[in-house]
């Protein structure tokens, strides 16, 4: 089955710097890769996702890149702000048509943005 | 539109007790999921459902049961609670036309 590895487990940056979180997956059939942000004591919330037919996707200060050959994908946050501090999870799944989209999650990265 | 709701928010169980975690969504989503999140870890899929009357096992189903009698509700049953089931449980749902899973607020369960 699918396995997702995520690193680093913790990341501390200065406000305004960039942050990069990386994930690798094992199942070449996976084609959907979401990123979730989870603030302390809150539910996970989707911040960005990418499909395997796209190499990069941006949404304001957040971007995700995907390398299908190497089976890894990364989250990039630019101009970090204190409110970006949270745990970030990557996930992978097979999703097309009516497929079940069973998400396999990485173990999370605790991002701390120092003011 | 409340989205995905879960009850209770917190619960303490004694070893061997049983309970049902409730999950309801009002978005008419066919797909529903139960995850558990252990401290410092990612989410693990327990069970999922693709529609009323259809359920299937995820990564960590042992010790749990589910049912799906309506589109809206997807309860998770714990029989004979064990300390290893101490965790935060999240329910999620999604429609058939988009991949985004929407999570409920979670239930924090402690088994002593």
For β-strands B107-111 and B10-13, DSSP reports them as: parallel
Of the partner residues A43, A46, A89, the one whose CB lies closest to the CB of residue B42: A89
Take residue B80 and report the two structure tokens written for it: 């004979």
| CB distance B78 to B21 below 8 Å | yes
Measure Cα distances from A87 to A25, A43, A113, B34 in Å. Answer: 19, 11, 12, 20
Chain B residue with the nearest C-alpha to that of A96:
B99
Looking up tokens 């009516």, which residue turns up? Answer: A98
Of the partner residues B31, B40, B42, the one whose CB lies closest to the CB of residue A106: B42
| CB distance B91 to B33 below 8 Å | yes
pLDDT values of chain A reduced to their tens digit, one per residue, 115 residues: 788 999 999 999 999 999 999 999 998 889 899 999 999 999 999 999 998 888 999 999 999 999 999 999 999 999 999 999 999 999 998 765 555 678 899 999 999 999 9
B42: which chain A residues are within 8 Å (Cβ-Cβ)?
Answer: 4, 6, 89, 105-108
């Amino acid at each position: 089955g699918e396995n997702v590895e995520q690193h680093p487990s913790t990341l501390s940056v200065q406000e305004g710097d960039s942050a990069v979180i990386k994930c690798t997956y094992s199942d070449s059939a996976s084609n959907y890769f979401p990123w979730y942000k989870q603030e302390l004591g809150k539910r996970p919330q989707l911040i960005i996702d990418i499909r395997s037919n796209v190499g990069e996707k941006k949404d304001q200060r957040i971007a995700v890149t995907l390398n299908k050959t190497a089976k890894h994908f990364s989250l990039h946050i630019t101009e970090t702000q204190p409110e970006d501090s949270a745990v970030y999870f990557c996930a992978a799944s097979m999703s097309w048509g009516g497929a079940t989209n069973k998400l396999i999650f990485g173990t999370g990265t605790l991002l701390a943005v120092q003011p | 539109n409340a989205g995905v709701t879960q009850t209770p928010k917190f619960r303490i169980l004694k070893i061997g007790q049983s309970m049902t975690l409730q999950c309801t969504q009002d978005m008419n989503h066919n797909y529903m999921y139960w995850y558990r999140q252990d401290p410092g870890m990612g989410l693990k899929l327990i069970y999922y459902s693709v529609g009323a009357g259809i359920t299937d096992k995820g990564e960590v189903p042992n010790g749990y049961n589910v049912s799906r009698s309506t589109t809206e509700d997807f309860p998770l049953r714990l029989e004979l609670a064990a300390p290893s089931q101490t965790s935060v449980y999240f329910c999620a749902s999604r429609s058939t036309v988009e991949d985004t899973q929407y999570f409920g607020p979670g239930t924090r369960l402690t088994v002593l």
